[in-house]
Chains A and B, each alone.
Chain A
């Protein structure tokens, strides 16, 4: 990143950014929230969930990886893009087994919060109810429930880049793609620790800490009253 200032337009508003920033970083800095699930501050951009898709000069781009450039026009909060985002969230819901009603993460879950923010009352696609998702509870402090995994890859990146451990990896392609643990080992066979960043960054209830479930009462959880992204929008100048 250099100190050179760039001017571009987002949803008709002219904003300033620093050269080398991504569109998402620049938008965050001026309090414009671009929805995201795989992007996480402190982790390398990944560009997999496509929820942050914006239109740059009329073309679809992922805001988390696309750099700002002088004079570009970015569309973010448009009905067209919101509809695309609703479709993505709908697909994530039907593709896994997301039982919000008993999930420990409910109220603090970014997938659920995104659906709330986008006003989704029911997914428009048929539920798939996959039967091949297992749960690994072998670790004394942490468990992974693949039913709830959305393959955002945050744990993969956090384990590799922040924890220096490589506990989680992707295996398989397309519909077979899933998170594996140290090449098919059990969670208890790894050096994963409950304090690892890889455990903290999961946006859904796939990787959870044991012994602390349902600690926060309904009504006091992160997204009970404030939509996801409100913290960023609070910076809106």
Chain B
């Protein structure tokens, strides 16, 4: 029987959650026995090759590309996990949510104290994904099945959650593995 597949992605995140995935240390060998990796920055597969059992999403949705990737994950993954505070609440990028988008762009590209922008132009090349009005948590964009909070979530949280899901056991995390920081 073919091994189940997992996929991961980082949307508006810092890759800290992916570092925490790698922080399962030598258990990654066990993980490699349990699953195959599909689309993921860990193996650099860019597009889905088929249906996936578990999708892990780091980061919230700050731009249209984040939304497109997240919708693609929902389409291909039987179980979708929000990994970390950014995926769950928007996280640090969501600090801009209390400031109008235009003001954020003006500060970043025109008025900031360290800005050197002779052309006085805010980048708007069609290649650059358009920013959303604010940063959205993943579960406000698509249905999310499980949330693993933390900044980043402890490696043990990720490991226990994955093992439970892959072995069809209930996901019951102990007190010390649910943390918001």
Contacts and interface: CB of A to CB of B under 8 A. Distances in A.
Interface of A: 97, 99-103, 106-107, 112, 115-117, 119, 121-123, 126-127, 129-131, 133, 218, 224-225, 227
Interface residues of B, number: 28
B36 interface: no
Given A97-B98, A122-B139, A129-B97, A102 B92 contact: yes
B166 to A, nearest CB: 19
A131 B99 contact: yes
Contact of B180 (A106, A130, A225): A106
A15 B101 CA distance: 58
Nearest to B149: A121
B18 interface: no
Interface string B80-123: 00100100111110110111000000000000000000000000
Contacts of A97: 98
A101 B97 contact: no
A129 B180 contact: no
Given A97-B98, A129-B97, A130-B98, A122 B180 contact: no
A107 B181 contact: yes
Q: Is the interface of B mostly helix, strand, loop or mixed?
A: mixed
B178 A106 contact: no
Q: Is the interface of A mostly helix, strand, loop or mixed?
A: loop
Contacts of B89: 99, 122-123, 127
Given A99-B95, A101-B92, A106 B148 contact: no
B181 A127 contact: no
Given A106-B180, A121-B178, A225-B176, A129 B94 contact: yes
Interface string B130-169: 0000100101100010111101000000000000000000
B76 interface: no
